[in-house]
A and B are shown apart, each in its own frame.
Chain A
């Protein structure tokens, strides 16, 4: 049996706020297989985003161990962690987080500038990523010339450009209307099914969660429920 792409063992994260001790994650243990599509759900403050940040190497646990893509993240220096992130993990945020003065092409090209690629190779990667998200014709538009759904698709293209194994999305449909949200989720589903990307989505929206194969419900930093979504499972079979 292949090793899980994500292995959390007794991970605890502690914050101190105004003298109060907050435990967004409390000895959480979890395995996620490669190629899985996971929805992280739970009320505000339940630890969803904290967990996503730990997996993406943006934050580190105060206790416990964490192995992602075969790498024990505790062993990496900040510089090594940044390099590891650029190769294996990509983020999609609720508010798109595109750089406003760059075109769609340039935004997608941004993470590729960290790779040892020629200009022509970078161009090929960018065009492929933008084609996958259906924005090949709008690559020279700036974010303010795109709709919210298109901006999020550019953000997904940026995430895809480096061909990461793991795609982490923090409420990717939170700022979108229903139709755009559905388009984005269809895109993520296709990436999971057709390109084998492991996707973890933080969401409050049950409709979004239904697109995932597995739904993890967090409450007060612990895993309250771990369920599989039937339609997704059927689709994946």
Chain B
């Protein structure tokens, strides 16, 4: 152990730089995996017992709210909640009095029914919940957005939608009646939800039309049968529907960014690989510098196997330190300190466990690959040759 330590401290600056370069590469890997996870998290938070009814052609088209009663009549459907994407911008003033634009997801929903079929949305304070249901202009905001934008219960917030206008181009005003949180770590805690009725009465156009119905079904195993029955009901109507699982619905958004993800992964992988190759090369050079020391150890009586273990051990320790630093920093930042580099774009930004394991695998591979060649050479090296080297 002392020899291993001494080998690492022989050129401390080189060891430090090697550790830092591995740490940087692994941090980058963890960050990249966290970004990709953030893209996909909507899929993982989907419930198997929820379906989504949307326009057959595209989400850009609306469907009438009058379909609701027809959908509810389908066997196996327990609830159908209308939802409309609001697309509003929040423009609070900061401490210096400057106005800034903030974005977060907002939906107009049938509140009571929505809360009953999406139990992931948790309003802990019963008073807040009562006030939310009682106030038609009330809204509930996710705790992460509330914290980020310093929104409190009782605040009146004003949004300007990029889609929906009120007569006279009046901005939309809402009363913050509740803050929600979630017990599910993968559920979006950045949304704002408000009453569909308030929205529908206020909007200038599109009245009676909604974006999607979020449905809950009694038996998730029957989703195909139910989806087919609903879509058949609206066949040949002006607004044909497509019914999919919540997971498949969320997957559409991920697939829209398919090439972006591939691009990100390719560029990231190339950078990580390059940095690791540089680190591995440095570690191999460091091992080659120790040829004479290997000769000394062998002349003293240390075995070939010991020399092998020493050299591979050094590489593994350097890689392990790089892992601890890089992955540890990423874990600390994204999972403990909950740093989100783009909170308005990524509702959830955490490093998945798979990234930690992946980084561990990369670190182990770097350690073994960079150590195996000099370790084998060191093991086979004859002491007489080693002692002749300068």
Report which A residues bind B (CB closer than 8 A): 53, 56, 58-59, 78-79, 82-83, 85-87, 90-91, 93, 97, 99-102, 106, 110-111, 114, 158, 162
Contacts and interface: CB of A to CB of B under 8 A. Distances in A.
Nearest to B300: A111
A184 to B, nearest CB: 18
A86 B10 contact: no
B390 to A, nearest CB: 9
A97 B10 contact: no
B383 interface: yes
Given A86-B300, A111-B301, A58 B384 contact: yes
Contact of B304 (A53, A56, A82): A82
B126 interface: no
Contacts of A59: 382, 384
B4 to A, nearest CB: 11
Contacts of A90: 300
Contacts of A97: 292, 295-296, 387
Given A78-B304, A85-B301, A86-B301, A101 B9 contact: yes
B9 A85 contact: no
Contacts of A91: 299-300
Interface in B234-259: none
> Interface residues of B: mostly helix, strand, loop or mixed?
helix
Interface residues on B, range: 20 to 34
Interface in B21-38: none
Interface in B282-305: 292-293, 295-305
A52 to B, nearest CB: 10
Contacts of B387: 58, 93, 97
B148 interface: no
B281 interface: no
26 contacts: A58-B387, A59-B382, A59-B384, A78-B304, A79-B304, A79-B305, A82-B301, A82-B303, A83-B301, A83-B303, A85-B301, A86-B301, A86-B302, A87-B301, A91-B299, A93-B296, A97-B295, A97-B387, A99-B6, A99-B293, A101-B9, A101-B10, A111-B301, A114-B300, A158-B300, A162-B301
Contact of A82 (B2, B9, B292, B298): B298
Interface of B: 2-3, 6, 9-10, 292-293, 295-305, 382-384, 387
A110 B301 CA distance: 10
Contacts of B300: 85-86, 90-91, 110-111, 114, 158
Nearest to A91: B299
B313 to A, nearest CB: 15
B298 A58 contact: yes
A34 to B, nearest CB: 20
B116 to A, nearest CB: 68
A1 B304 CA distance: 38
Which of B10, B297, B298, B301 has the most C-beta atoms of chain A within 10 angstroms of its own C-beta? Answer: B301
Nearest to A170: B387
A100 B10 contact: yes
B304 to A, nearest CB: 6
A58 B383 contact: yes
B374 to A, nearest CB: 17
A90 B295 CA distance: 13
A114 B302 contact: yes
Which of B292, B299, B383 has the most C-beta atoms of chain A within 10 angstroms of its own C-beta? Answer: B299
Contacts of B10: 100-101
Nearest to B305: A79
A87 B298 CA distance: 13
A59 B299 CA distance: 10
B6 A56 contact: no
A86 to B, nearest CB: 2
A74 B337 CA distance: 64
Nearest to B304: A78
Contacts of B299: 56, 58, 85, 91
Contacts of A100: 10
A56 B10 CA distance: 28
Which of A56, A59, A82, A91 has the most C-beta atoms of chain B within 10 angstroms of its own C-beta? Answer: A82
Closest 5 CB pairs of A and B: A86-B301, A101-B6, A82-B303, A58-B383, A85-B301
Contacts of B305: 79
Nearest to A83: B301
A110 B7 CA distance: 14
A78 B301 contact: no
A206 to B, nearest CB: 25
Contacts of A111: 300-301
Given A79-B304, A91-B300, A114-B302, 16 more contacts: A53-B384, A58-B382, A58-B384, A58-B387, A78-B304, A82-B301, A82-B303, A86-B301, A100-B10, A102-B2, A102-B6, A106-B6, A110-B297, A111-B300, A114-B301, A158-B300
